[in-house]
Amino acid sequence: MRLHNTGAWQPGDPEGNRRFVTTHTAEAPLTLLSGRTLGPVTMAYEAWGELDADRGNAVLVLPPLSMSSHAAGPAGPGHRAEGWWDAVIGPGRPLDTDRFHVVVVNNLGGCDGSTGPASPDPEGRPWASRFPALDVVDQVNAEAALADALGIRRWHAVVGMSIGGARALEWAVSRPERVGRLFLIAVAAATRIEQAGHTHVELELIRRDPHFHGGEFYHLPEGCGPVTGMALARSFSHLRYGTEAYWQERFGGAAWYHDSDGCHAKFREYVLAQGEKVWERFDTNCHLVLSETALSATVARGRGSVGEALARITAPTRIVGFSSDRAYPPESQRDLAYGIRGARVRIVDTDLGHYGFLFEPGLIEPDLRQALGEE
């Protein structure tokens, strides 16, 4: 059955460079932290570069919430846009595919081929609102099962940014023997209260859309889903990932003060368009599930304290933050570095805000190269 009102990848769509692994079945499901089970579970990923005979050159990249596994390569069948980290992955680039086998995984609960709310349940119906709540622990358990299926017992490095960085932390804390090196970008040990407040507003914008229907909108005619709520939520989110200085420079600079009507119009059009683009390529129920997962993220759960959790990390660790990041302010990265033995931290002075690693990947290139062993 073809689902409506979703930007999720669906079976029958071009696969592009995606690869799929069934990590759990209905008979042998994934047991979640909540006590519920989920099966079958399919994990989608993309990979670049050859895997060595000893399988020791694999690098795991864990993307932010709304980014897919298509981190490198052109747009084309199966991929609406160029890879979101295309400048970073490839021969001679920081993630050098002549040296490394780079694996980028679509989040469990996502909508780009991995099992999520738009996926069929064991009876073949879309999970929709019945999809279980997830924890970062659950997502990493699924990723570990994928690594097992690929025969990768130990990652040369695990790289994570934003909420993907929370998963990278979980890898290093729960499976230190499987993480050779750790590189964390714009992340914290636990979700901050201001960040949580913004996320709650985003989710309410979606839930209060009269076309949300409690998440049961896949069967409705195309265009009858919560497009307004989803688009406004993502526009609101996009705003806080930039900064005052960045937006002024991009939309008028000094002219902002002299031609406010024209600059405001351009800015309004841009911001609203960003939300509409997310509606076209993402799934609203997946956004809710992944956002709720991010809200509950803390490396301390079940481990006493953040300090006790971070003390489990044995991998050489590099951490990068951005001076103007309002989602994960620099003190978050400094706190992480304080808790991880031998960790090195650098705060990049930039007006780009949280998405500095996307807007200008060159900002973190030297740190990434060093994190991978190019001292």
Helix axes 284-295, 227-241, angle to 10 degrees: 40
What average pLDDT score do residues 201-218 get? 96
Amino acid of residue 43: M
Token readout for 114 is 């991995």
- DSSP state letter for 179: B
Radius of gyration of the chain (CA): 20
Query: Does position 256 have pLDDT exceeding 60, yes or no?
Result: no
- What is the pLDDT averaged over residues 339-364? 93
Mean pLDDT of 329-345: 96
Stretch(es) of the chain classified as CATH 1.10.1740.110: 196-292
Mean pLDDT of all residues in 22-51: 97
Q: What is the pLDDT of residue 246?
A: 81
Residue bearing the bigger pLDDT, 6 or 254: 6
How sure is the predictor about 110, in pLDDT bands with cuts at 50, 70 and 90?
very high
* Tokens linked to 253: 């600079």
Average per-residue pLDDT in the chain? 93
Q: Which amino acid is located at 51 in the chain?
A: L
How does pLDDT run across 93-108, given as a tens digit for each residue?
999 999 999 999 999 9
Query: Is residue 222 very low, low, confident or very high in pLDDT (cuts 50, 70, 90)?
Result: very high
**Amino acid letter, 21:** V
Q: Catalytic one among 68, 162, 237, 332?
A: 162
Task: Flag whether pLDDT at 253 surpasses 80.
Answer: no
Q: Using CA of residue 355, residue 61, residue 375, residue 343, what is the dihedral sign?
A: positive
Residue 254 in this model has a pLDDT that exceeds 60: no
Q: Specify the CATH class of 19-192+298-371 in words.
A: alpha beta
Return the residue matching tokens 């029958």: 12
pLDDT at 85: 97
pLDDT band for position 283 (cuts 50, 70, 90): very high
Q: pLDDT band for position 239 (50/70/90)?
A: confident
Every domain of the chain with CATH number 3.40.50.1820 lies at 19-192+298-371
Question: What mean pLDDT is predicted for residues 77-105?
Answer: 96
Residue 260: the pLDDT is 62
Is residue 251 scored above 90 in pLDDT? no
Quote the CA–CA distance of 281 and 287 in Å, as a whole number.
11
- Selection from 295, 250, 285 nearest residue 271 by Cα: 250
In the predicted structure, residue 264 carries a pLDDT above the cut 90: no
Active site residue 162: yes
Q: What integer pLDDT is reported at residue 355 of this predicted model? A: 86
Question: Out of 96, 138, 209, 325, which one is annotated catalytic?
Answer: 325
In the predicted structure, residue 19 carries a pLDDT above the cut 90: yes
Half-sphere exposure of 32 (CA within 13 A, CB side): 18
Q: Could you confirm whether 258 is annotated as catalytic?
A: no
Whether pLDDT at 156 is above 90: yes
Which phi and psi angles does 160 have, rounded to 5°? -145, 145
On the question of pLDDT at 255 being above 60, the answer is no
Over residues 281-303, the mean pLDDT reads 94
Active-site residue, selected from the candidate residues 70, 79, 101, 354: 354
Residue 70 a catalytic site member = no
pLDDT value at position 261?
63
Identify the top-confidence range among 116-120, 188-192, 262-266. Answer: 116-120
* Top-level class of domain 196-292: mainly alpha
Structure confidence at residue 258 (pLDDT):
59
Q: What is the mean pLDDT of residues 148-154?
A: 97
- Asked whether the predicted pLDDT for residue 120 surpasses 90, the reply is yes
Average pLDDT over residues 153-173: 97
